[in-house]
Every structure is written in structure tokens, then in C-alpha cells.
Amino acid sequence: MVGDVQPRQFSYLLRVWSVEQNGTEVWRASLESPQTGERTGFADLDALLAFLRQSTASAPDGRAAGASLRRRVG
């Protein structure tokens, strides 16, 4: 194998639930790392998807950028 490139993967426990906010249903989400137990909450599904996009974007050195969980609840 050229360069011995390791496949990248991330594992999370995903929780999704709805809440009522100002008479409107809003979806919330959280991700929990099974490796560390670190949990991050997301105020909406757009924030969750933005985190996943950032986590899977390649950094210049070939590693995933921003793969660690960060607090996202707003």
C-alpha cells in the first residue's frame, strides 16, 4: 500500500429529540464519544451537520480537522 494510509473513521452515539420553542418544534441533538465519554450538544440539526462537515474535512497533513467534540449548545 502506498504511504500506508490509514482509513479515518469516527464513532459517536447520536441522540436526537424535539422540544417546543416559541410554539415551534425544534430538533436538538447530542453526540457522545464512546472512546472518551465526551458529549456535545447541538441547538439544531444545522449545527450538528456543520460539526460533522468540519470533523470530516481534511487538514493539510491529511488528518481530520476538528475531530474532537466541542460544546455547541446555543
In this predicted structure, what is the pLDDT of residue 61?
Answer: 57
The CA–CA distances, whole Å, from 2 to 5, 6, 8, 64 equal 7, 11, 16, 19
pLDDT value for 4: 64
Higher pLDDT, residue 37 or 63: 37
pLDDT, residue 74, reads 47
Structure pTM? 0.69
- Type of residue numbered 40: T
CA pair distance 32, 70, nearest whole angstrom: 11
pLDDT digits (tens, 9 = 90+) for 3-61: 666 667 889 999 999 999 999 999 999 999 999 999 999 999 999 999 999 988 865 55
